[in-house]
Structure 1
């Protein structure tokens, strides 16, 4: 692209004999570029350079279940609502009304368009949500739609007609949604990827429409113009976006760089403009230095880092073995010596910042070696083993310097304090996700960032062994019952009490080992504004500007 610009400028110089000074890659001049329709575009020369750690596994809104894919799609699509500073604001929906009983939402759509110029209609939302709930599509996030009347029954095959689900296009610009029960976070949900619309004609014409840049149709502030698999993705400003006048960037170049050290090298050499959650990760060995230099920013983050246990495994099905491993992690030392970014030891399933939680000291003690040894002794006896050395465990994680460092720290602790030998196993992101989904692991790391800032977002995935995000094989009838009761409880305090009861049950059975509650450390280049992540880690590139 830069070579073409130079050729054009050279031709203009020869034809008009006018001296024009242009600076490519340095400071921008104050002029504006003229578009093909004669309009001026102040964002025409503003590019942002970012990284993600891996190839996005899926850029289909209803099939994606990972943060890398979400990060990309958040800029290619827009839901009924968008999130600004963590709060829902009108997106495709220009306005909405809520019935007195808080069960029916009626959304009025603005005159917005798809990136191919077609109008966005209420039917595009119906089409997408039906796809997400259709059991044949096996969407791992189908359950997030269960707040809608009849959605769960349709997804489980108990009903076969989508007409029985509370989603109706009253006309092209009016969408009516009826809920099972009042849901205080429903507007936040409508900004989540699983509730994005799909351009029905594109999807009907090509079931693989979401696998390449060519033919990819979205309705967000940007359009994907290039996708070099395992290499890079290029986004450009979407001229059809309803609020395009307020989008300042012309292009976003996103390189796929797995190594955190390489990401930091690129940032410090000026090749990329930001490193932090959503777009890369600061290497652990750089955090203290960046903090001392006054360059490190740390934002609140509603998320948790945990180890999942495959409870269908011959060893990990034993609750006492799981308990021993969980209690024998020294979270405080891990944070002080390895992660170093102000994380908080996780002694429960729900971060302290979530409403109604964080007013206790947790469900167990950090680094409780005596409790761990007692649980281990009981677990070995139940497995018919006489000594911890007879256990051979494998700890799996996706390729990452940070995940490897954390795993090595915990591996050493388990060996030193429990006498358990643990082998480390790393895989690239998509392969690793497949391992978790297929229960082809013993112990596996994963982070979970709230889809909406409510305790239910951290607990709901374990409501059944079949939940696409469970990945442990664990289920508990009482736990499931409490979660179901929480969805219909209208008293906020009573609802939180039900969720706390559920949290206590899952902690008692240890299908996961909570490790720490996230913070969001990041660095951003001077002259780049609007890159501050919200509490869910979202960065809306629509609001980003490059001033130098």
Structure 2
């Protein structure tokens, strides 16, 4: 593949810098390290972007966490650890946070990382002209004047963030937010190099143009094929970084990816649906499984453009009740997933899963109620519903969609057309409400229930159902300032279980085939799975 002269030179500089611990001992664990510190893993689809304020998917965010560093990172257990910030203080009512930035943080072009780089990035995120799919995150952070700035009704300078000096960042909130510090690990809050963006526009993220402040820089990107990042010698903690190169390979087929893993081409890949039990038996040191802060669900179009049958709450409830979640988790997936009847997973910090009514019924009772509701709505064998179920291309998504379509057909007489689309096309189709029912998944942006429930708030950028409920909006707004928001979260879960704009199906587990060389450094105890290549290492075989 062709690599630009600049990227090639930078790669040479990285190679000359050399792995600090290659073929030596790990300074903490005492393990002998592998000579080749390259980590290669599989992703399902091409990522949306590596621009911190534009990226909107999990695989893209994984890359961005290597290329850029925010105020805080997470350790292997999900705890906050310093990134560019070394610490912070607050005022008495915790509405003003003052972050102290390290003085040795640099961009890959040698410029210092300053508080103004964060101000620019956060204003850029809020700016309507940026058209970020994550613009709403500035409201999640509860930044002062976020709403008016996002709407273009106030200047960007009114946003509650300013640089006191190069190494002091002051953040002003609309009101106290107990989990504010946790929100700063999200990719959209990472700093951005204004000078590079001004010079190159949207091309600033190409390998030959990109300027980064993280532990790695982008040296190669071939769309829908591969992305390579290599150590950034300007990173403030480069001397303690062990992995030299991380390669993400786009492999759409889970079974092909498994074959390539078994051939030694990959260090990590997802386990195909239904194959975990056998692989755990045959490769117990490589088949790993652990909880994940993610929910798999179907979103239902309830916008003005939706078909009339989906605007009927009885139909939406019937579609949900008729899905046997135990079959999905125990027969189709078989990798420790948890059947879901609420949107928020039980793994969420400080969250108690409320006992919504239908969760306590047997599946026979749910099926009977579903048939009754469909009849009340005027649908059945003599007047069947025809609907299209959309999912992004994946063997696992297809298997789940096939199972669900059979349940709907057998229990309710619903005729289902399955439609799969490539990732970016699917995101556009779903985001523009050009669908009826669509597969969706959400992984927490931070470890607090609002990261899930904010998606059913009427103004959320990822409320693809276009669901609107004033009580839900009010409960979520009030929860932001409560010491114990659990009662509000429980009520929201009860409301959406009744209105059913989304159908929770299961809460994720993560199941990987992971090379024994990398297993010991993988953060299995971090339910958010915010991993950083700089914290990984490969042991000698």
Structures share fold, TM-score greater than 0.5: yes
Pairing 1:476–2:469 present: yes
Q: Deviations over 1:172-221 (max 9, x none)?
A: 11100011222222111111011011011011112213552221121111
Alignment of 1:386-465 (within 5 A): 387=381, 389-464=383-458
1:291 to 280, 299, 302: 280
Structure 1, residues 146-195: CA drift from partner, whole Å, max 9, x if none? 111111221123x3222322101001111000112222221111110110
Matches within 5 A, 1:242-391: 242-275=236-269, 281-293=270-282, 294=284, 295-312=286-303, 313-314=306-307, 315-365=309-359, 367=363, 368-379=366-377, 381=378, 387=381, 389-391=383-385
3-state DSSP of counterpart to 1:364: helix
Q: 3-state DSSP class of the match of 1:206? A: helix
CA distance in 1, matches of 2:443, 2:14: 40
Equivalenced residue count is 503
Q: Distance in 2 between matches of 1:89 and 1:82?
A: 5
RMSD: 2.0
Alpha-carbon distance in 1 for matches of 2:17, 2:417? 63
Name 1:81's counterpart in structure 2. Answer: 72
Cα distance between partner residues in 2 of 1:274 and 1:362: 37
8 A contact 2:14–2:232 mirrored in 1: no
How far did 1:41 drift? 3.6
Give the equivalent residue in structure 2 for 1:115: 108
Contact map agreement 1:388 1:418 (CA 8 A) in 2: no
CA distance in structure 1 between the aligned counterparts of 2:50 and 2:311, rounded to whole angstroms: 34
Per-residue Cα deviation, 1:96-131 (whole angstroms, up to 9, x for no partner): 112221111111111201122111111110111101
Residue 526 of structure 1, CA deviation: 1.6
Change (3 A) 1:265 1:498: same
TM-score (norm 1): 0.88
Cα distance in 2, alignment partners of residues 416 and 36 from structure 1? 60
CA contact under 8 A between 1:531 and 1:541: conserved in structure 2?
Answer: no
Alignment of 1:20-31 (within 5 A): none
Deviations along 1:249-302, one digit per CA (max 9) or x if unpaired, are 111122111111011111111110112xxxxx2112421111223242111211
Partner of 1:24: none
- Match 2:125 to one of 124, 132, 136: 132
Distance 1:70 1:398 in 2: 18
Alignment partner, residue 518 of structure 1: 508
Structure 1 residue aligned with 2:50: 59
> Using a 3 Å threshold, how does the CA distance of structure 1 residues 69 and 424 change in structure 2: closer, same or farther?
same
Residue in structure 2 matched with residue 29 of structure 1 by the alignment: none
Return the match for 1:42 from 9, 13, 21: 21
Following superposition, the deviation at residue 321 of structure 1 comes to: 1.0
Secondary structure at the counterpart of residue 353 of structure 1: coil
1:239 & 1:38 partners in 2: Cα distance?
7
Q: Partner of 1:316: helix, strand, or coil?
A: helix
Q: Tell me what 2:32 maps to.
A: none
| TM-score normalised over the length of structure 2 | 0.89
**1:387–1:226 CA distance, 2 compared to 1 (3 A):** same
SS at match of 1:488: coil
Q: Which has the larger radius of gyration?
A: 1
**Are the counterparts in 2 of residues 369 and 417 from structure 1 also a CA contact under 8 Å?**
yes
Counterpart pick for 1:536 among 525, 528, 537: 528
Alpha carbons 2:20, 2:240 under 8 Å: kept: no
CA distance in structure 2 between the aligned counterparts of 1:231 and 1:340, rounded to whole angstroms: 29
Q: Provide closer, same or farther for how the CA distance between residues 336 and 35 of structure 1 changes in structure 2, counting only shifts above 3 A.
A: closer
> Which residue is 1:20 aligned to?
none
Q: Do 2:115 and 2:165's aligned partners in 1 also have CA atoms closer than 8 Å? A: yes
User: Could you say if the C-alpha distance between residues 426 and 238 of structure 1 is closer, same or farther in structure 2, counting changes exceeding 3 Å?
Assistant: same
Q: Which residue matches 2:137?
A: 144
